Amino acid sequence: MKTDLNIIAKTLRRKIIETSFRARIPHIGSCLSCIDLLVYLYWCELKINPLESENIHRDRFILSKGHGAPGLFQVLAAKEFFPLNLLEEFGKPGSVFHEHPPKPGYIAGIEAATGSLGHGLPMALGMALAERIQKLEYRTYAMLSDGECNEGSIWEAAMLASAQKLNKLTVIIDYNKWQATGRSQEVMAIEPLSDKWKSFGWDIQEIDGHDFSQIKDSFNKAKDESKPSAIIAHTIKGKGVSFMEDDNNWHYRIPNADELQRSLRELEDES
Protein backbone atom coordinates (compact mmCIF):
# COMPACT_ATOMS: atom_id res chain seq x y z
CA MET A 1 0.00 0.00 0.00
CA LYS A 2 2.76 2.44 0.95
CA THR A 3 4.55 2.21 -2.39
CA ASP A 4 1.36 2.56 -4.42
CA LEU A 5 0.19 5.64 -2.50
CA ASN A 6 3.57 7.31 -2.86
CA ILE A 7 3.49 6.75 -6.61
CA ILE A 8 -0.02 8.19 -6.82
CA ALA A 9 1.00 11.22 -4.77
CA LYS A 10 4.09 11.82 -6.91
CA THR A 11 2.00 11.63 -10.09
CA LEU A 12 -0.51 14.11 -8.72
CA ARG A 13 2.28 16.47 -7.64
CA ARG A 14 3.42 16.54 -11.27
CA LYS A 15 -0.09 17.27 -12.48
CA ILE A 16 -0.57 20.07 -9.94
CA ILE A 17 2.58 21.82 -11.12
CA GLU A 18 1.85 21.28 -14.82
CA THR A 19 -1.66 22.66 -14.39
CA SER A 20 -0.42 25.68 -12.45
CA PHE A 21 2.05 26.48 -15.21
CA ARG A 22 -0.54 26.10 -17.95
CA ALA A 23 -3.38 27.93 -16.20
CA ARG A 24 -1.23 30.57 -14.43
CA ILE A 25 -2.86 29.70 -11.10
CA PRO A 26 -0.80 29.78 -7.83
CA HIS A 27 -0.94 27.96 -4.46
CA ILE A 28 1.43 25.17 -5.49
CA GLY A 29 3.12 25.10 -2.08
CA SER A 30 -0.17 24.68 -0.23
CA CYS A 31 -1.29 21.89 -2.57
CA LEU A 32 1.97 19.97 -2.32
CA SER A 33 1.90 20.05 1.49
CA CYS A 34 -1.51 18.37 1.73
CA ILE A 35 -1.58 16.04 -1.29
CA ASP A 36 -0.41 12.98 0.67
CA LEU A 37 -3.25 13.50 3.13
CA LEU A 38 -5.76 13.89 0.29
CA VAL A 39 -4.48 10.76 -1.43
CA TYR A 40 -4.89 8.69 1.73
CA LEU A 41 -8.37 10.08 2.36
CA TYR A 42 -9.68 9.31 -1.11
CA TRP A 43 -7.89 6.01 -1.73
CA CYS A 44 -8.19 4.48 1.73
CA GLU A 45 -10.46 6.34 4.14
CA LEU A 46 -13.55 8.01 2.70
CA LYS A 47 -16.61 5.92 1.94
CA ILE A 48 -17.61 7.68 -1.26
CA ASN A 49 -18.61 6.13 -4.58
CA PRO A 50 -17.84 8.42 -7.54
CA LEU A 51 -20.82 6.89 -9.36
CA GLU A 52 -23.11 7.89 -6.48
CA SER A 53 -21.47 11.12 -5.33
CA GLU A 54 -24.70 12.41 -3.78
CA ASN A 55 -25.62 9.23 -1.92
CA ILE A 56 -27.07 10.38 1.40
CA HIS A 57 -24.97 7.80 3.29
CA ARG A 58 -21.62 8.94 1.84
CA ASP A 59 -18.84 10.27 4.06
CA ARG A 60 -18.45 14.04 3.87
CA PHE A 61 -15.15 15.80 3.23
CA ILE A 62 -14.71 19.58 3.25
CA LEU A 63 -11.50 21.21 2.11
CA SER A 64 -11.75 24.17 4.43
CA LYS A 65 -8.36 25.44 3.20
CA GLY A 66 -9.96 26.20 -0.14
CA HIS A 67 -6.72 27.40 -1.74
CA GLY A 68 -5.74 23.71 -1.89
CA ALA A 69 -8.46 23.17 -4.50
CA PRO A 70 -6.03 22.61 -7.42
CA GLY A 71 -4.81 19.53 -5.54
CA LEU A 72 -8.31 18.34 -4.68
CA PHE A 73 -9.40 18.69 -8.32
CA GLN A 74 -6.57 16.38 -9.40
CA VAL A 75 -7.57 13.84 -6.75
CA LEU A 76 -11.24 13.90 -7.77
CA ALA A 77 -10.33 13.50 -11.44
CA ALA A 78 -8.01 10.58 -10.65
CA LYS A 79 -10.84 8.92 -8.70
CA GLU A 80 -13.17 9.48 -11.69
CA PHE A 81 -15.62 11.89 -10.12
CA PHE A 82 -15.39 13.67 -13.47
CA PRO A 83 -13.38 13.18 -16.69
CA LEU A 84 -9.77 14.24 -16.44
CA ASN A 85 -9.96 16.27 -19.65
CA LEU A 86 -12.31 18.74 -17.95
CA LEU A 87 -9.29 20.09 -16.09
CA GLU A 88 -8.05 21.50 -19.39
CA GLU A 89 -10.53 24.31 -18.62
CA PHE A 90 -8.79 25.04 -15.31
CA GLY A 91 -8.42 28.78 -14.81
CA LYS A 92 -10.17 29.80 -18.01
CA PRO A 93 -12.92 32.46 -17.95
CA GLY A 94 -16.24 30.88 -17.01
CA SER A 95 -14.66 27.63 -15.82
CA VAL A 96 -15.83 26.05 -12.56
CA PHE A 97 -12.24 24.91 -11.95
CA HIS A 98 -10.33 27.76 -10.37
CA GLU A 99 -8.34 28.67 -7.27
CA HIS A 100 -11.05 27.58 -4.81
CA PRO A 101 -13.86 25.01 -4.84
CA PRO A 102 -17.20 26.16 -6.28
CA LYS A 103 -20.51 25.61 -4.55
CA PRO A 104 -21.97 22.07 -4.67
CA GLY A 105 -23.62 21.03 -7.90
CA TYR A 106 -20.94 22.23 -10.27
CA ILE A 107 -18.28 19.58 -9.62
CA ALA A 108 -19.08 16.07 -8.38
CA GLY A 109 -17.47 15.39 -5.01
CA ILE A 110 -17.37 19.00 -3.82
CA GLU A 111 -19.39 19.43 -0.62
CA ALA A 112 -18.94 23.17 -0.04
CA ALA A 113 -17.55 26.33 -1.56
CA THR A 114 -14.57 27.30 0.57
CA GLY A 115 -11.70 29.73 0.49
CA SER A 116 -12.93 32.35 2.92
CA LEU A 117 -11.02 30.74 5.77
CA GLY A 118 -12.72 29.58 8.94
CA HIS A 119 -16.01 28.45 7.40
CA GLY A 120 -15.30 24.83 6.50
CA LEU A 121 -15.24 23.46 10.04
CA PRO A 122 -18.56 25.08 11.02
CA MET A 123 -20.14 23.52 7.92
CA ALA A 124 -18.59 20.15 8.73
CA LEU A 125 -19.96 20.50 12.27
CA GLY A 126 -23.45 20.96 10.84
CA MET A 127 -23.04 17.87 8.67
CA ALA A 128 -21.88 15.83 11.65
CA LEU A 129 -24.90 16.98 13.65
CA ALA A 130 -27.18 16.12 10.72
CA GLU A 131 -25.74 12.61 10.63
CA ARG A 132 -26.62 12.08 14.28
CA ILE A 133 -30.10 13.57 14.02
CA GLN A 134 -30.98 11.60 10.87
CA LYS A 135 -29.13 8.43 11.97
CA LEU A 136 -27.35 8.12 8.64
CA GLU A 137 -24.09 6.48 9.80
CA TYR A 138 -21.51 8.52 7.89
CA ARG A 139 -18.34 10.28 9.04
CA THR A 140 -17.39 13.91 8.41
CA TYR A 141 -13.89 15.21 7.74
CA ALA A 142 -12.56 18.76 7.37
CA MET A 143 -9.06 19.77 6.33
CA LEU A 144 -7.82 23.06 7.76
CA SER A 145 -4.65 25.04 7.23
CA ASP A 146 -2.62 26.07 10.25
CA GLY A 147 -3.09 29.75 9.42
CA GLU A 148 -6.82 29.13 9.30
CA CYS A 149 -6.69 28.36 13.02
CA ASN A 150 -6.34 32.13 13.49
CA GLU A 151 -10.07 32.41 12.80
CA GLY A 152 -12.44 32.69 15.75
CA SER A 153 -15.10 30.65 13.93
CA ILE A 154 -12.79 27.64 14.11
CA TRP A 155 -12.73 27.74 17.90
CA GLU A 156 -16.45 28.40 18.25
CA ALA A 157 -17.10 25.30 16.14
CA ALA A 158 -14.50 23.35 18.12
CA MET A 159 -16.29 24.15 21.39
CA LEU A 160 -19.69 23.11 20.06
CA ALA A 161 -18.34 19.89 18.56
CA SER A 162 -16.83 18.99 21.91
CA ALA A 163 -20.03 19.87 23.80
CA GLN A 164 -22.01 17.64 21.44
CA LYS A 165 -19.40 14.83 21.62
CA LEU A 166 -19.33 14.54 17.83
CA ASN A 167 -17.02 11.55 17.66
CA LYS A 168 -17.67 11.07 13.93
CA LEU A 169 -16.09 14.42 13.15
CA THR A 170 -12.39 14.48 12.29
CA VAL A 171 -10.30 17.56 11.56
CA ILE A 172 -7.01 17.29 9.70
CA ILE A 173 -4.71 20.29 10.10
CA ASP A 174 -2.16 20.75 7.32
CA TYR A 175 0.51 22.18 9.60
CA ASN A 176 3.14 23.39 7.12
CA LYS A 177 4.16 26.27 9.44
CA TRP A 178 3.40 29.01 6.90
CA GLN A 179 0.50 31.25 6.00
CA ALA A 180 0.18 33.84 3.26
CA THR A 181 2.36 36.54 4.82
CA GLY A 182 4.77 34.72 7.11
CA ARG A 183 5.46 31.96 9.62
CA SER A 184 2.26 30.88 11.33
CA GLN A 185 3.82 31.12 14.78
CA GLU A 186 5.11 34.64 14.17
CA VAL A 187 1.82 35.92 12.76
CA MET A 188 -0.50 34.72 15.55
CA ALA A 189 1.44 32.61 18.10
CA ILE A 190 -0.29 29.39 17.06
CA GLU A 191 1.76 27.20 19.40
CA PRO A 192 1.12 25.15 21.42
CA LEU A 193 -1.41 24.04 18.79
CA SER A 194 -1.91 20.56 20.21
CA ASP A 195 -2.65 21.90 23.68
CA LYS A 196 -5.12 24.42 22.30
CA TRP A 197 -7.21 21.73 20.59
CA LYS A 198 -6.93 19.46 23.61
CA SER A 199 -8.15 22.22 25.92
CA PHE A 200 -11.25 22.54 23.72
CA GLY A 201 -12.11 18.90 24.44
CA TRP A 202 -10.77 17.16 21.33
CA ASP A 203 -8.72 14.00 21.01
CA ILE A 204 -5.35 15.01 19.56
CA GLN A 205 -2.79 13.22 17.44
CA GLU A 206 0.38 14.67 15.95
CA ILE A 207 1.83 12.90 12.93
CA ASP A 208 4.17 13.26 9.97
CA GLY A 209 1.70 14.28 7.28
CA HIS A 210 3.86 12.72 4.56
CA ASP A 211 4.13 9.27 6.16
CA PHE A 212 1.29 7.06 4.96
CA SER A 213 1.77 4.58 7.80
CA GLN A 214 1.28 7.32 10.40
CA ILE A 215 -1.64 8.78 8.46
CA LYS A 216 -3.33 5.37 8.41
CA ASP A 217 -2.83 4.80 12.13
CA SER A 218 -4.19 8.24 13.01
CA PHE A 219 -7.44 7.75 11.09
CA ASN A 220 -7.91 4.29 12.57
CA LYS A 221 -7.45 5.65 16.08
CA ALA A 222 -9.88 8.51 15.44
CA LYS A 223 -12.64 5.99 14.69
CA ASP A 224 -12.36 4.59 18.22
CA GLU A 225 -12.69 7.90 20.04
CA SER A 226 -15.72 9.10 22.02
CA LYS A 227 -15.01 12.75 21.18
CA PRO A 228 -14.15 14.71 18.02
CA SER A 229 -10.63 14.15 16.72
CA ALA A 230 -8.00 16.56 15.47
CA ILE A 231 -5.06 15.15 13.52
CA ILE A 232 -2.25 17.70 13.46
CA ALA A 233 -0.25 16.69 10.40
CA HIS A 234 3.22 18.21 10.31
CA THR A 235 3.93 18.88 6.64
CA ILE A 236 6.35 20.76 4.42
CA LYS A 237 5.07 23.50 2.16
CA GLY A 238 6.10 22.64 -1.40
CA LYS A 239 6.86 19.03 -0.43
CA GLY A 240 8.46 16.97 -3.20
CA VAL A 241 10.30 19.71 -5.08
CA SER A 242 13.59 20.72 -3.46
CA PHE A 243 13.58 24.39 -4.45
CA MET A 244 9.94 24.83 -3.40
CA GLU A 245 10.14 23.11 -0.02
CA ASP A 246 9.61 25.41 2.96
CA ASP A 247 9.74 28.46 0.66
CA ASN A 248 6.67 30.62 1.21
CA ASN A 249 7.18 32.38 -2.13
CA TRP A 250 5.36 29.39 -3.63
CA HIS A 251 2.17 30.41 -1.89
CA TYR A 252 1.60 32.84 -4.76
CA ARG A 253 4.31 32.11 -7.32
CA ILE A 254 3.69 30.31 -10.60
CA PRO A 255 6.58 28.33 -12.16
CA ASN A 256 8.30 29.52 -15.29
CA ALA A 257 9.25 27.08 -18.05
CA ASP A 258 12.64 26.25 -16.52
CA GLU A 259 11.17 25.71 -13.05
CA LEU A 260 8.48 23.50 -14.53
CA GLN A 261 11.05 21.19 -16.12
CA ARG A 262 13.21 21.14 -13.00
CA SER A 263 10.15 20.17 -10.93
CA LEU A 264 9.10 17.41 -13.29
CA ARG A 265 12.59 15.93 -13.34
CA GLU A 266 12.60 15.75 -9.55
CA LEU A 267 9.19 14.06 -9.57
CA GLU A 268 9.98 11.41 -12.17
CA ASP A 269 8.74 7.96 -11.22
CA GLU A 270 11.82 5.93 -10.39
CA SER A 271 9.94 2.83 -9.16
Read off the pLDDT of residues 158-196 as tens digits, 9 standing for 90 and up. Answer: 999 999 999 999 999 999 999 999 999 999 999 999 999
Q: Hey, CA dihedral for 221, 70, 245, 17, is it positive or negative? A: positive
Domain residue extents for the chain: 2-266
Provide mean pLDDT across the span 250-263.
97
Query: In angstroms, rounded to a whole number, what is the distance separating the alpha carbons of residues 162 and 157?
Result: 9
pLDDT tens across 142-161, in order?
Answer: 999 999 999 999 999 999 99
Bridge partners for 60 per DSSP = 140
Provide mean pLDDT across the span 121-127.
98
Look at residue 88 and tell me whether its pLDDT is greater than 50.
yes
Read off the pLDDT band of 269 (50, 70, 90).
Answer: low
Look at residue 2 and tell me whether its pLDDT is greater than 50.
no
Nearest to 131 by CA among 176, 161, 89: 161
Q: Tell me, what's the pLDDT at 35?
A: 98
Residue 133 · residue 194 · CB < 8 Å? no
- For the CA atoms of 55, 59, 65, 69, the dihedral, rounded to the nearest 10 degrees, stands at -50
Range with lowest mean pLDDT among 121-135, 212-226, 256-270: 256-270
Task: Looking at 87-179, list the stretches that DSSP marks H as alpha helix, in order from N- to C-terminal side.
Answer: 120-134, 152-163
Q: Cα separations (Å) of 167 from 124, 218, 226, 227, 266?
A: 12, 14, 5, 4, 40
Q: Tell me, what's the pLDDT at 144?
A: 98
In a 10 Å sphere around its CB, with 0-12 CB exposed, 13-18 middle and 19+ buried, how is residue 135 labelled? exposed
Look at residue 1 and tell me whether its pLDDT is greater than 90.
no
Provide mean pLDDT across the span 197-223.
98
Residue 70 · residue 60 · CB < 8 Å? no
What is the longest distance spanned by two Cα atoms in the chain?
54
Would you put residue 80 in left (φ > 0), alpha (ψ -120 to 50) or beta? Answer: left
- Per cent of the chain over pLDDT 90 is 97
Provide mean pLDDT across the span 19-30.
96
Q: Tell me, what's the pLDDT at 79?
A: 97
- For 2-266, the fitting CATH number among 3.20.20.70, 3.40.50.970, 2.40.10.410, 3.40.630.10 is 3.40.50.970
Residue 254 · residue 26 · CB < 8 Å? yes
Look at residue 222 and tell me whether its pLDDT is greater than 60.
yes
Q: Tell me, what's the pLDDT at 271?
A: 46
Which residues does 162 contact at the CB level (< 8 Å), separation at least 6?
200, 201, 202, 227, 228
Look at residue 46 and tell me whether its pLDDT is greater than 50.
yes
- Per cent of the chain over pLDDT 70 is 98
